Amino acid sequence: MKQGFLILTMMLLLTQHVKAQENSPIEGSITYQTKNEVYVRFNSTEGMKVGDTLTVWHEQQWKKALIIESLSSQSCKTKVFLPITLAIGTKTNSIPKTIVVPKKKDDYALVPYLSANPKEEKKPKENPNKQQVDSRISLSTNGSRDQKARDFDRLRATASLDILHIQDSRLNLETYLTFNHKLGTPMNDSTFRNDFKVYSLAFTYAHENGLSISVGRKLNNRLANMGAIDGLQIEKTLRKMTWGTFAGTRPDVLDYSFNKNLTQFGGFVAHESETTNGPIQTSLAFAEQKYGSETDRRFVYFQHSNAYLKNLQLFYSVECDLFQNIDSVKTNRWDLTSMYFSLRYRPSAKISFTTSYDNRKNIIYYESYRNFIDQLLNQETRQGFRLQMNYRLHPLAYLSLSGFYRYQSNRPDPTKNYVANVSISQIPNIMASVNLNANYMDTYYFKGTIWGLNISKDLFKGFLSTELSYRKVDYLFVNKEQGTLNQHIWGLNLNMYGKKRTSLMISYEGTIEPTIQYGRYYLTLTQRFRSKKPKTT
């Protein structure tokens, strides 16, 4: 009898456990409330919909008290239908996803969903090479209107298409094309070559053994300082090491078209690993670039980044030229072209510091820039220092301070730039975000300030995003003939989002000066497409 009662009790508990699993809620918390509205934040609102009911932890029990009125990806706006008082931070529950387990009083922890029957958790095996398509088409026009009849209009079109695992294979495609034309300009072959740009067009075959082969125009992230490469790129990854080589041409220096005379080849080796504090990456690359049969440039590039120490991130890179051809005298000495160093330190979740140093010379192609070599050699190395601090004043307010100093020996005075930003998100009552910024610049030819204010707010359940901006510009030029520049600049941005990945952006900026007024407009229509082939078993 006792055994039967025990078995019956266990079956009832198991039944309740399974029901709890089926209706297990996800935990959220109240972040802000007004007289009639309560805003709740979740890790994700996936599966929720307008009209759903949320429960709150009130007087030591869960009570149905909130109805969802609108949703975003991680938060929702609700309306209270019970005569109860709620506080910021109050726990809420929603749709099945995880189980909330009470630990003590108001302390709750999330645990993963576990099925009562492991067999029910088995899913069809997904093909790792399932085709995925991501494309975007954008049409835009921009122009200017002023009182001196210097009006102009431009038309710009961009298209991108990325296909991962074409027809469930290991072959991938990436493309990015643009067309930018000033209206009223006669169209001919030369104009079209200048207006139409192919920034990426390449097929890549990625084998499961770590071998990758790319053909076409493609930017290599490990050789990003070189720009796009037209031709063949091969990479092989084995554990933490990656070796790569490339051969082909580089885009034309004037119109970015294909130029068979600008041949290049080279290779690289890279090491990547992970630590408890973050990733570590080191790479070394060599490149030989030619103009016809003559050497145009030869250089090596080294970069390293690490997070050896907790909350500290380091990055530095060095680029050295190995070839010179000045006055028909060819040499192969090492010449430092550029050096960049940055360090980011985050002692706490509230504050972070970033500093950087940039030292670079003009890059010289001894054959392509033959007529400008003297001019380029006479321009001395530019050095720049930057220091920035970000501080969280409040969960909804941030302060950013930065200073920039750039020195060039052939200039009488260095360039100094100081910037301050205060950002406040979701201000109570108006639920808008505000940004205040100030910028002071002191250069060898002018000094002055820019004061700015931006206010942004989402309307109609996120369908419309609005932004108002204002900037006050006061510049004093060293050259007395130029005098001063005083401007009041007003701006309005509207972004509308459709349900089928369609967006429309309308922007206008008007400038008022003492003797003239003019305005600029920008209009963009974007359609994005994403598709996936059905899962295969």
pLDDT digits (tens, 9 = 90+) for 131-148: 889 999 999 999 998 867
Lowest mean pLDDT among 78-82, 216-220, 290-294, 348-352: 78-82
Section 512-533 average pLDDT: 88
> Which of these, 385, 300, 308, lies nearest to 340 by C-alpha position?
385
Beta-bridged to residue 508, according to DSSP, are 492, 521
In terms of average pLDDT, the best of 2-11, 12-21, 485-494 is 485-494
DSSP letters, 251-293, are --TTT----TT-EEEEEEEEEEEEETTEEEEEEEEEEEEEETT
Residue 191 main-chain phi, psi, to 5 deg: -65, -45
The more confident residue out of 490 and 88 is 490
| pTM summary value | 0.68
Residue 312 corresponds to which tokens in the numbers above? Answer: 């500290």
Residue 121 pLDDT > 50, yes or no?
no
Q: The tokens 């052939």 sit on which residue?
A: 410
Decide: 508 and 525 in contact? Cβ < 8 Å: no
pLDDT tier for residue 536 given thresholds of 50, 70 and 90: very low
Residue 440 corresponds to which tokens in the numbers above? Answer: 């002071």
Q: State how far the alpha carbon of 198 is from the alpha carbons of 136, 252, 514, in Å.
A: 15, 11, 43
Torsion on CA atoms 223, 226, 229, 234, rounded to nearest 10: -20
Lowest mean pLDDT among 128-137, 276-285, 527-536: 527-536
> Which of these, 531, 475, 469, lies nearest to 500 by C-alpha position?
531
> Which of these, 50, 32, 49, lies nearest to 41 by C-alpha position?
32
Q: The tokens 């002692």 sit on which residue?
A: 347
- pLDDT of amino acid 473: 94
Identity of the residue numbered 377:
L
Note the CATH number of domain 2-121.
2.40.30.20
- pLDDT of amino acid 6: 37
> Within a 10 A sphere around the Cβ of 455, how many other Cβ atoms?
15
Domain residues of the chain, as ranges? 2-121, 125-201+445-537, 207-379
Q: The tokens 């009182």 sit on which residue?
A: 147
Residue 272 pLDDT > 60, yes or no?
yes
Q: The tokens 């030591």 sit on which residue?
A: 60
Identity of the residue numbered 366:
Y
